[in-house]
Chain A
Amino acid sequence: MNFWKKYRNDIFLITSLLAVAGIAIGIVLGTRKKVNLTAKISVQNKVVETVNLSDKEDHDYYINGLKGILHVHTHDGAIAVLESNCPHQDCVRMGYVNESNRPIICAYNAVSIVIEGNGQANDVEIG
């Protein structure tokens, strides 16, 4: 009884601190996963653009493919080909992608968009 009275405030403080620390760790880990998600856009196997998908703002990219220009768009952490001159339009039909196991391929223009995550991507490509 005396113990509870004596340390009640301390126990309350410790419990609160642990709860706050747990939430903070959760936020940090959750954010980190998103920060490292990037899309690599390649033409003929050469990376021409590295896109940071953690940026939630919309961006447009115009990629010079083998036979025409592809209009690529990012929205809410996902990437899509909005327009392409390819006959089958498979790349356009894939819509928005934000998973590393679903690359967008436009064989007609030799363009591929591959999403990489968990620290595998470089910050920038040179060459």
Chain B
Amino acid sequence: MKYKTLFSLPLIALLLGCTNTNPVVDQRVFSFDTYINIRLYEGKKTDGEYLEELIAKYDKLSDNYQNRDISNVYTINHTNDDVTISEELYKLLKTSFDVNKEGATYFNPLCGSLAKRWKEALKNKQILDETIKNEELLKMQNTTLTFKENNVVQRLGDAEIDLGGIAKGYVLDRALDYLKEQKINSYLINGGSSSILLGEKKSKDGLFSVGLNDIEGAYIKLKNCFVSTSSKSVQGVEIDGVSYSHIINPKDGSALNENDAVIVISETGYYGDAMSTSMMMNTIDEIKTIEKEHNLKTIVIKSNKIVYSHPDIEVLHR
């Protein structure tokens, strides 16, 4: 009996050590103009389906380019009347309009029409006309969104709302709410490489390896957090030696950024998304101050080099 017990132990230990690292759910959904990859290492297939529906719902709600048979951002942008919206969109809008009080001083959800104008100009390799830019800035200053009772909002003015810099992070927050409810701890939801939600990896240390696209061979190891990035490397346009970005400075109306890319590690997705957008215009000293006040960790990239990283972040290289 003693022998049996003795020799069974290594086998039991071996079998217990064999954890399945393959995801239970690995699916892609095309939303927010990109592929969102949902990878769950625990849970059921129905959890993946729920998350897919959740993401698709917020994609519809935050769409500012077309009305998709619901009252969405497009609807609000095309009237100055009261609009009754879903509670989900109401809360998303409230969060978006309040986030600048939390330090995202260069984040303004009313920059929709200005961003569209810049996008059209840069598509044709042109700089936005100064008069148009000033008109759009004036529109932004004179536009308000009033939050009324029973999920009613009213936009007064002509500037359009654009939630592109926050919606993906916000929906990842809602995804995290669901995963916590279901007691799912191991997951990775990749919102098109710009907004990522990480749980714990099925490995000894639970850390996921996150590659930094802008720096060849560089990666960081993270778990249980959100990672958001804004970068002009993919959508940036160079005209006469000057690099213009799709990220618009809502204060001066320009498409010029202080940084080439900003990566933010945060506890909430909406905040990481808004901050990474806003910090594209911040100096490193300003970023350091914001980090201290708002419990964030940041990596700043300029000319394919890391010019600043929070002291707690270890950037590794292959």
Task: Say if A and B assemble together.
Answer: yes
Q: Which residues of A contact B (CB under 8 A)?
A: 10, 13-14, 17, 20-21, 24-25, 27-28, 35, 46-50, 52, 54-55, 57, 59, 61, 120-127
Contact B210 A123 (CB under 8 A): yes
Q: How far is the CA of A88 from the CA of B305 in the complex (A)?
A: 36
Task: Return chain A residues, CB-CB under 8 Å to B318.
Answer: 120
Q: Determine if B22 is an interface residue (Cβ-Cβ < 8 Å).
A: yes
| Bound: A14/B3 CA distance, A | 9
- Whether B242 sits at the interface, judged by CB under 8 Å, is no
Please report the C-alpha to C-alpha distance between residue A122 and residue B28 in the assembled complex, in whole angstroms: 18
Chain B positions within 8 Å of A57 at CB level: 26
Query: A14 — which chain B residues lie within 8 A by C-beta?
Result: 3, 7
**CB of B119 within 8 Å of the partner chain:** no
For the complex, give the distance between the alpha carbons of A49 and B30 in Å. Answer: 13
CB-CB < 8 A to B214: which residues of A? 127
Asked if B35 contacts A21 (CB within 8 A), the reply is no
Find the B residue at minimum CB distance from A35.
Answer: B21
Pair B211/A13 contact, Cβ less than 8 Å? no
Contacts of B23 in A (CB 8 A): 52, 55
Interface residues on chain B, size class: 35 or more
* Overall SS of chain A's interface: mixed
Selected from A17, A21, A24, A127, the residue in CB contact (under 8 A) with B212 is: A127
The proximity string for B residues 194-212 relative to A, scoring 1 for CB distances below 8 Å and 0 otherwise, is 1010100100000011111
Query: Min CB distance, A52 to chain B, in Å?
Result: 7
Q: How far is the CA of A40 from the CA of B190 in the complex (A)?
A: 15
Q: Name the B residues within 8 Å of A13 (CB-CB).
A: 3-4, 7
Least CB distance, B216 to chain A, in whole angstroms: 8
- How far is B8's CA from A125's CA once the two chains are assembled, in angstroms? 42
CB-contact partner of B4 in A10, A25, A125, under 8 A: A10
Given A17-B7, A46-B213: A127 touches B18 (CB 8 Å cut-off): no
Taking a contact as CB atoms under 8 Å apart, the answer to whether B210 and A46 are in contact is: no
Does B96 lie at the interface of the complex (its beta carbon under 8 Å from any beta carbon of A)? no
CA distance A126 to B229 in the complex (A): 7
Which B residues are in CB contact (< 8 Å) with A24? 11, 14-15, 18
**Complex interface bits, B239-281 against A, C-beta within 8 A gives 1, otherwise 0:** 0000000000000000000000101000000000000000000
Q: Which residue of B lies closest to A15 (CB)?
A: B7
* Bound: A52/B193 CA distance, A: 15
B231 interface contact, C-beta 8 A: yes
Q: How far is the CB of A36 from chain B (nearest CB, A)?
A: 9
Which A residues are in CB contact (< 8 Å) with B35? 49, 61
Per the 8 Å Cβ criterion, residues 104-156 of B in contact with A are: none
Are the CB atoms of A21 and B11 closer together than 8 Å?
A: yes
Mask, B31-65, CB within 8 Å of A = 1, is 00001000000000000000000000000000000
Residue of A with least CB distance to B231: A127
Interchain CB contact under 8 A, A35 and B22: yes
Cβ-defined contact, B4 with A126, below 8 A:
no
Instruction: Let me know if B188 and A21 touch, CB within 8 A.
Output: no
Asked if A126 and B227 sit within 8 Å, CB to CB, the answer is yes
Partner of B211, one of A20, A48, A122: A122
B67 at the interface (CB under 8 A from A): no
B26, A127: Cβ atoms under 8 Å? no
Asked whether A46 lies within 8 Å of B188 as measured between CB atoms, the reply is: no
Bound: A16/B213 CA distance, A: 50
The reply to whether A124 and B190 form a contact with Cβ atoms under 8 Å apart is yes
CB under 8 Å from chain A, chain B span 4-27:
4, 7-8, 10-11, 14-15, 18, 21-23, 26
B15 touches A127 (CB 8 A): no
Q: B210's contact among A25, A28, A54, A122, by CB below 8 Å, is which?
A: A122
Given the interface pairs A28-B18, A55-B26, the reply to whether A126 lies near B211 with Cβ below 8 Å is yes
A residues in contact with B21, CB < 8 Å: 35
Nearest opposing residue in chain A for B201, CB measure: A123
Beta-carbon contact of A124 and B196 below 8 Å: yes
